[in-house]
Every structure is written in C-alpha cells, then in structure tokens.
Amino acid sequence: MRLKRSLPNLLLIAFTIIVSGLAIADITPERQAELIYLLRHDCGSCHGMRLEGGLGPALKPERFRHWSTETLAMTILYGRSGTPMPPWGPFITEPEALWLAGQLKKGIQP
C-alpha cells in the first residue's frame, strides 16, 4: 500500500508532469465532460458530489491555495499513502490530471 518515493523519483514525476502539461490543450471537450462526471460521481463518493467533503476532505480552491497544480495532479495520479486516497493514474493521463487539478484550483461546481 505504502508508496516509497525518493526525492529524485519525485523530481522525475514532476518533470514528466510539467512536460506533459503541454498536452493539456489536447483534451477534447467530450473527455473534459467525462472527467467532470468522474469527479462528481466517483471522486464524489468520498469528497461529496458538490466537493464539499465527506470521509475525504472538501476539494475547494481555498484548500488548494498553497498547492501547486503539479502537486495536486500528482496526488490525483499517485494517491496519498497512509490515507484512503487511491491512485487514479490507471484511469486518467497526466495531462488530464493536470487539467483537473487546474479546474480544482480555479474552483468548479461540477
């Protein structure tokens, strides 16, 4: 369960994410709608359909003020060890996670 990550690994992940960020523009409106649906209904299992929290914390912009988009995207992709937050990497790509993280930081009402 516990993911052990060394600093170089983290840097590598961050680097990959930043590079792949260039691909954000490629996410089609259809896929964006799918991601928002996923956010509302599946992330919503723990974070609430309106992202106001549940067993997991609320996903509101205030909470992410001090989070970079990249850190948030990494959390989505790799989960958070020691908590129930699972890795969503098997289902969404890095550019998609970055796009989603950007939306969360901006604040969305899915």
CB of 44 to other proteins, least distance (A): 6
* Structural tokens at position 89: 């990497």
DSSP-based three-state secondary structure for 103: helix
Angle, nearest 10°, between helix axes 94-106 and 7-21? 80
Q: Which residue of 24, 36, 75, 79 would you call a contact of other proteins, by CB under 8 A?
A: 79
Which of 18, 46, 71, 93 lies at the binding interface for other proteins (CB under 8 A)? Answer: 46
Binding mask 26-45 for other proteins (x = CB under 8 A): --------------xxx-xx
Among 11, 19, 22, 49, binds other proteins (CB under 8 A): 49
| Binding of residue 5 to other proteins (CB under 8 A) | no
CA angle 35-38-42, nearest 5°?
160
**Cβ 24 vs Cβ 99: under 8 Å:** yes
